[in-house]
Structure 1
Amino acid sequence: MGPPARASHPIPVPIRAHAAAPAHRSIDAARALFPALEDTREVYLDSAATTQKPWPVIDAATGYHRARTANAGRGSYRWSTELAGRIAEIRGRTARFIGAGHTDEVVFTGGATAALNAVALSWGLAALDDGDHILFNPRDHAANVLPWHHLRAIMARFGRNIELVPYRVTELGEADIADIAHKIGPRTRLITTSHLHHVYGAVTTLEELRGRIPSRVLLCFDCSQSGGHLPVDVVELGADFAVFAAHKMFGAPGAGVLYCRRRVHDQLIPFLPGGTSGGRAGDDARVAMPGLLEGGTPDIPALLALGAAIDVLDSFGMSAIAEHNRDLTARLLDGLRTVPGVRFLPGPAYAPCATGYGIVSFTLDGISADDLGFVLAESGFMVRTGAHCVPADTAGSASDAESVRVSTQIYNTHTEIDRFTDCVRQVAEEVL
């Protein structure tokens, strides 16, 4: 028999009840919050793909379906109006969590991919002119590469040709600031980058360019990985756009966050016309943000889960989470450096000091990344292998194309990291 069923809340937990949760949790007690990790010897090391879900998130999502299911704000009855109020509170808490100055700068989307496409289509189609440039990293996640190519193809059909200008990545896995500075020109309108790179595990802030970027140039940060791993302040970043993926920060799939700085609001057009995102057909009346970009019924249980996820992250503290993942990263690198044949991709392995936020990618001589991933899975270690959603025609050298990626979170331990490196060492001894 399995463990007894855990008692669940009979009705959705109000936002104020989440706020009354313990002000501080210890990282040492984190694992007990995640039911999928109970009573298992398997080691989950794929949190960059998606994180495990804690009990408060599970309760929030399932609670919506158990009782008082309604469409938020679409009715005058109490179930609908209370739900709309809860989502408004979650929007406010999300704004505080990411450092936004105003709640109307927080747009809820279907995920980070949807958020980046919203930037491309709601801003790019409306604001870019023939000959304008976008600077991008071709080794970023496909969600921060392909929308710009799609935008270019759409605009070309209507006689407006924009140029996508790639910039380099350093050995540390960061955006090459000198290369970006060299490529900023009079037609540059947007620089887009990963805040925490999904393969290299390196942080890019573009702070070295502050004061050197013309005000006409907007900054877009993909914070899909950083959102649940380290403190993020969009104002400090100088972001005009920033995107987050709820499912990578303990939330449920189906919810994302798009930060749109107020200075760009008048440059936007609806992303999903319909519902509450536009006026009557043929009407030029403008819908206020964030409704302008939120057409249709959202994934309500995923938004409720996002609120619970932010509570959980806040209860541990983002600085403590970052420190724990940095500690695990250092331990992982120290262990893998002793394994013959291990070759690291750009990232914290090449940093002059201890750094890292829980993401390390590597290859092992004598065995393909996919085969190594299979052997590791058979031994109980869940990691990601392959190109990690870097578009095939932009992956770079063959050594970058396929790798094993290890990604950690607060539920991972020193013991798990040591067991993993021991397993890689055993494989190396057999194939070399």
Structure 2
Amino acid sequence: MRSPAPWSAPAGPPAARDRSPAPRRADVRPLFPALAETSEVYLDSASTTQKPRPVIEAVHRYHSTRTANAGRGTYPWATALTRDLEGVREHTARFLGAAPDEVVFTAGATAGLNAVALAWGLAALGDGDEILYSPRDHASNVYPWWQLRTTLARFGRHIRLVPYRVTALGEADVDDIAAKLTPRTRLITVAHLHHVFGALSTLEELRGRIDPGVLLCFDCSQSGGHLPVRVTELGADFAVLSAHKMFGAPGTGVLYCRRRVHDQLTAFLPGGNSGVAPAESGLAPRAMPARLEGGTPDIAGILALGAALDFLDEAGLDTVAAHNRALTERLVSGLRPLPGLEFLPGPAHAPCDNGYGIVSFTLDGIGSTDLGFVLAEFGFLVRTGAHCVPPRGGPAGQAAADDDSVRVSTHLYNTADEIDRFVRCVATIATEVR
């Protein structure tokens, strides 16, 4: 019999469990095997998080015991898996404050945003319709709309992509968005937590200023697993999550589709067990969420997502958010006095202390890529470069010089001591390069 993990979520749906106390911060780090095997300091959680033991075991358990397909066979292995996956769907719905039929499993946040473009955009947008977006968002929240515009143009429908600005704090500029709304605006898409700037955008200031028919799409890749995400409070019609950024496995994601948009969605992955069924006139769409879930699901990844949600339930999202905020404030205050260091938009420019675990900066005298190599030599693992932000000026544009930066991103397993050591290392480099 397999020995229980040092700390793993008890069986059964979260709502029915006796809640055990959240583990103390000092008890969390040993649950991440990769961190126990290295002395390096991992500061790239915005790219992908380390995986706790319960998530690793969920993947291993599926591949090593009673491996089967879900939603097809009638024998016990298959039916048990089908129930397990629906249990994860229900858990995800509770996590977001949604209904189970509003939760679609995808191959990741990129796949989720492309699903919106294909399942909604191709069918619902007409000639002259407009989408408001930020060119400074992650490419996964920019390129699908560029591609949609190109695809529709081939069939004689020309849509407009209207860019809006980002403030000095790194947030979506709601005044600029409001000024660019027109009767042809159909969708506003925004990064809930920006992947470079670490700034939160909720569009709350636009409540009552947007026509109810305008749909809202939130990229929650960075906020999911870092702070509470409640789609109803956001007023979201679409929202995407990336499992590998919230302790889950890569290749798995979530697309939230509000019920009011279900009738506007068409199946875009027809095939085995897909979202369509034979009809007299060809193919008829099935009910949601099956309509958008063609093909064999990533069973191991979805089970891992369930384990990750259990882990986050036990740790507490408020605890995670408070921990990342404390580390962010410590990092900003430590880096601020360093000569030649300049912060990108984000928490360093906020009028009060805040932060969600993401800080980006440049340092005079050394390029960010070279700085990243030097930091890695000293054992600090950070992300450098343009961070998947598209080139300025659209598809034919070029990356600007200030698009190259160092990004530090933390999570529950990072410590104040690691931040202090990192600041001292950057301070030494700053002195040497001057």
TM-score (norm: length of structure 1): 0.95
CA offset digits 1:388-430 (Å, max 9, x no partner)? 0001235998353100000000000000000001110111111
Root-mean-square deviation over aligned CA pairs = 1.8
Asked if 1 retains the 8 angstrom alpha-carbon contact of 2:132 and 2:185, the reply is: yes
Quick one: structure 1 residues 112 and 374, their matched pair in 2 at CA, closer, same or farther if it must change by over 3 Å? same
Question: 1:419 maps to what in 2?
Answer: 421
Size of the alignment, in residue pairs?
Answer: 424
Question: 1:302 maps to what in 2?
Answer: 301
Asked if 1 retains the 8 angstrom alpha-carbon contact of 2:9 and 2:314, the reply is: no
Matches within 5 A, 1:140-155: 140-155=137-152
Q: Describe the SS at the equivalent of 1:393.
A: coil
Q: Identity over the aligned pairs, expressed in percent? A: 66
Asked if 2 retains the 8 angstrom alpha-carbon contact of 1:14 and 1:86, the reply is: no
Asked if 1 retains the 8 angstrom alpha-carbon contact of 2:118 and 2:148, the reply is: yes
Question: 2:261 maps to what in 1?
Answer: 264
CA offset digits 1:328-376 (Å, max 9, x no partner)? 0000001101211110000000000000100000000000000000000
Return the alpha-carbon distance in structure 1 between the equivalents of residues 428 and 204 of structure 2: 42
Return the alpha-carbon distance in structure 1 between the equivalents of residues 260 and 13 of structure 2: 35
Return the alpha-carbon distance in structure 1 between the equivalents of residues 25 and 209 of structure 2: 40
| Residues 1:51 and 2:52 aligned together | no
| Residues 1:179 and 2:168 aligned together | no
Q: Describe the SS at the equivalent of 2:431.
A: helix
Return the alpha-carbon distance in structure 2 between the equivalents of residues 152 and 39 of structure 1: 47
Asked if 1 retains the 8 angstrom alpha-carbon contact of 2:164 and 2:172, the reply is: yes
Which of 128, 131, 139 is residue 128 of structure 2 equivalent to? 131
Question: 1:403 maps to what in 2?
Answer: 405
Asked if 1 retains the 8 angstrom alpha-carbon contact of 2:128 and 2:184, the reply is: yes
Return the alpha-carbon distance in structure 2 between the equivalents of residues 416 and 65 of structure 1: 36
Return the alpha-carbon distance in structure 1 between the equivalents of residues 74 and 182 of structure 2: 52
Q: Describe the SS at the equivalent of 1:16.
A: coil
Return the alpha-carbon distance in structure 2 between the equivalents of residues 352 and 392 of structure 1: 29
Asked if 2 retains the 8 angstrom alpha-carbon contact of 1:13 and 1:60, the reply is: no
Q: Describe the SS at the equivalent of 2:218.
A: strand
Structure 2 residue runs without a partner (length 5+): none
Amino acid at match of 1:63: R
Asked if 1 retains the 8 angstrom alpha-carbon contact of 2:249 and 2:305, the reply is: yes
Asked if 1 retains the 8 angstrom alpha-carbon contact of 2:267 and 2:285, the reply is: no
| Residues 1:390 and 2:386 aligned together | no
CA offset digits 1:195-222 (Å, max 9, x no partner)? 0000000000000000111011000000
| Residues 1:113 and 2:110 aligned together | yes
Q: Describe the SS at the equivalent of 1:302.
A: helix
Question: 2:374 maps to what in 1?
Answer: 375
Question: 1:41 maps to what in 2?
Answer: 39
Structure 1 residue runs without a partner (length 5+): 1-5
Amino acid at match of 2:199: A
Matches within 5 A, 1:163-312: 163-276=160-273, 277-280=275-278, 283-312=282-311
Q: Describe the SS at the equivalent of 2:217.
A: strand
Return the alpha-carbon distance in structure 1 between the equivalents of residues 9 and 303 of structure 2: 9
Return the alpha-carbon distance in structure 2 between the equivalents of residues 397 and 122 of structure 1: 31
Return the alpha-carbon distance in structure 2 between the equivalents of residues 370 and 243 of structure 1: 30
Structure 1 position 14, deviation (Å): 8.9
Asked if 1 retains the 8 angstrom alpha-carbon contact of 2:392 and 2:400, the reply is: no
Amino acid at match of 2:431: E
Structure 1 position 228, deviation (Å): 1.1
Return the alpha-carbon distance in structure 1 between the equivalents of residues 103 and 391 of structure 2: 32
Question: 2:67 maps to what in 1?
Answer: 69
